[in-house]
Amino acid sequence: MRHTYPPAEPAGPMHQRRAVLYSHDTFGLGHLRRSRALASALTQSGVVTSAIILTGSPVAGRFTFPPAVDHVRLPGVKKLPDGSYISKNSGMDIDGTTALRAGLIASTVAEYEPDLLIVDKEPTGFRGELVPTLEKLRNAGKTRIVLGLRDVLDEPDVLAAEWARKNAVEATERFYDEVWVYGPRSVYDPTQGLPLSDRVRARTHWTGYLRREIIDPAEVPDEPYILITPGGGGDGAAMVDLVLQAYEKDADLGPKAVLVYGPFLSGETRDRFEARVADLNGRVIATGFDSKIEALFAGAEGVVSMGGYNTFCELLSFDARAVIVPRTKPRLEQWIRANRAEELGLVRNLDQFRDGLTPDAMIAAIRALPTQTRPSEAGADGLLDGLDVVIARARALMGADVQSAAE
């Protein structure tokens, strides 16, 4: 059932509020999916009448958006193993691509004239591309600016060094009216270790996790199944391989699995997985990408997944028994989240440091899923107020003048 948000006060034709949500999206689906959830809630509640998502995701066009939400696709970039970036357009170098992205951001914001800008995770944007727009908005004094952070970013020392390198603390202090953390403070504080002023910390709000719902109804298997999802899939090959090894080693392992590779698990790796799936004779069925994956979460007997933020929100929202296999490189974000969630009784963390990533460990974890505690039994419902809090904060923030909001 679709959630009903508290109605906003009617706005006259001269007061139709607009929001822009920026997500750099250099990798995966997380930033885009989080921005879509926020934009949907803000428009459906009536707090804003329309929203535009600025995204670098190459698969943005494969998602559906509410009628009042649109998106602008920024030129794509790719992160290399050494941490550097290249343009996905072979005709441009990374500096040219960054300049083009910055120009598109600036022109969109200038023409659209948003009342609210929500920036996802990166205070200065990709390679600083957002700074010129932030400076113009702050000087104009008409747009409220919010930095949105997921519940876990990285280890405190690693994050502090990264933010220092990107001048992110200075940007947060200078440009942002509020900081919204999309998680409960009782679970984790992603800003620990950052040298933020008391003024910024007083303007930081923990919203709780962002509840998800079935946006687009879809058919799911009639017989019991577990869902296997590596999220976007770009870093999910090891997890998929481990699940397939478990089904290959244990001929009686069940129920059957529905494997969603994600749009970024492709090429020869995907081809090899497909051959192995075919040899399992229907015990595992696979699909490449499903933008309606919420329905699969809701219908599953259990879930085996990686530990990304959006997947975790879906596990809690659909009360799914879950085994999380978190990545540990290039950052420990997923491991920190999965470890803390296991401490709270919300999920099972298949911890490579403790359990080892072996077929036997995966077999045991899948077999234990039917008797595993559901997130609701550990109090998950009390952690999922994020969208309601975002709506309330946006309404309050746009109801104050910009100068007082930033004080």
pLDDT given for residue 28 in this prediction:
58
Give residue-wise pLDDT tens across range 206-256: 999 999 887 767 778 889 999 999 877 677 899 999 999 999 999 999 899
Counting DSSP H helices and E strands in the chain, the numbers are 14, 15
pLDDT tens digit at each of 407 positions of the chain: 344 444 444 444 446 899 999 998 766 566 788 999 999 999 999 999 999 999 988 777 677 788 899 999 999 888 776 667 888 776 789 999 999 999 999 999 999 999 999 999 999 999 999 999 999 999 999 999 999 999 999 999 999 999 999 999 999 999 999 999 999 999 999 999 999 999 999 999 999 999 988 776 777 888 999 999 987 767 789 999 999 999 999 999 989 999 998 877 878 989 999 999 999 999 999 987 666 788 899 999 999 999 999 999 999 999 999 999 998 888 899 999 999 999 999 999 999 999 999 999 999 999 999 889 999 999 998 999 999 999 999 999 998 544 444 44
Bond from prior residue into 66 cis (ω within 30 degrees of 0) = no
Give residue-wise pLDDT tens across range 321-333: 999 999 888 889 9
Residues near 113 by beta carbon (within 8 Å), at least 6 away in sequence = 18, 142, 143
pLDDT given for residue 11 in this prediction:
43
pLDDT given for residue 3 in this prediction:
47
For residue 312, give the 3-state DSSP assignment: helix
Q: What angle do CA 230, 270, 361 make, to 5 degrees?
A: 50
Question: What b-and-e string marks burial along 292-314, b requiring 16 or more CB atoms within 10 Å of the CB?
Answer: ebbbbbbbbbbbbbbbbbbbbbb
- Nearest alpha carbon to residue 325 among 313, 334, 316: 334
For residue 270, give the 3-state DSSP assignment: helix
